[in-house]
Amino acid sequence: MHEMRSSSPFAARTMPHTLRRVDVGDEALAELGVLVGFDDDLAGEATRISNRIRGLLTGIHPALERVLGPRITHPAVLEILSRCGGPVGIRKAGKRRLTTLATKHAPRMGARLAEEVLAALDAQTVTVPGSNAAEVVLPKLADSLKEILQQRKSIAEDVERMLDDHPLSQVLMSMPGVGIRTAARILLEVGDGSAFASAAHLAAYAGIAPVTHRSGSSIRGEHPARSGNRKLKRALFLSAFAALHDPTRRAYYDRKRAEGKKHNAALICLARRRCDVLFAMLKNKTFYRAPTAAAA
């Protein structure tokens, strides 16, 4: 493995080929890498099956997809699809059984979900070709997705136990928006941060630092980076999104949106800002401290 060879943030931003994954020399992280890699595979498969279910529902009953699709990984939705199948099976189940299945896994929203499903069924009276086959396929897809999500839950527990033995895991997870999977990814890709001279180097490595386009002696503005460590970038991006419940982070995000930035661009800005904090936390081995009102 190679470490960062560039000595300046600008060079790191403009020469992505100099960016290499960091070798932290920790055998425990090698074990962690196997688990996280398997979890990545499971996440990809879960996404594929989720999209397959949503696509199938869209093809035979768009109104039902609008109700179930956004909640497709929720246990209550998967239970309905697993036990009832598609539109025909759900309608046959009736309101009472549908409500029972939903409330078993969603006590607070189960009754409302059942009502929304039945209303969606009433919105379409035409039977689309392929509906009969969908009644057979949907329960199998739902069962497959349930199994994969259960495996991810089990792997997360294994990762959490492994993180308990790493001294930096609690430091990372003290920061709002950093959970088990994000902390594991940061440790795998960054280690203790000692390979990076500054937060700017770390941001460049993650691909969340803006790239300055130059032509001769002219500068043509800054643009989002298209290189860097994609796995780390995704982890920091999702972490920034998860941190939006924090008033300070939300205020910064809203300010960027008010400046005209789109959602993803504003989140990248927030991720870059949080990268400074993460770097300091790793360097000093200190827990996250919420900024004071004046600092915010």
Residue 18 has pLDDT above 60, yes or no: no
Same structural domain for residues 51 and 136? Answer: yes
Residue 243 has pLDDT above 90, yes or no: yes
Residue where a domain terminates, one of 121, 138, 161 = 161
Residue where a domain terminates, one of 161, 182, 208 = 161
* 24-68 tens-digit pLDDT: 446 778 889 999 999 999 999 999 999 999 999 999 999 999 999
Instruction: Give backbone dihedrals phi and psi of 113, rounded to 5 degrees, phi first.
Output: -60, -45
- Give the rounded percent of residues in the chain with a pLDDT score beyond 70: 83
Residue where a domain terminates, one of 140, 161, 182 = 161
Residue 5 pLDDT grade (very low, low, confident, very high; cuts 50, 70, 90)? very low
Bigger pLDDT: 76 or 211? 76
Q: What is the DSSP string of 216-230?
A: TTEEEEEE----S-H
187 located within any domain: no
Residue 236 has pLDDT above 60, yes or no: yes
* 136-195 tens-digit pLDDT: 999 999 999 999 999 999 999 999 999 988 889 999 999 999 999 999 999 999 988 989
Residue 121 near residue 91 (C-beta atoms within 8 A) = yes
The pTM for the full model equals: 0.77
Residue 8 has pLDDT above 90, yes or no: no
- Residue 23 has a pLDDT of 45
Domain span holding position 54:
42-161
1 located within any domain: no
- For residues 127 and 130, give the distance between their C-alpha atoms in angstroms, rounded to a whole number: 9
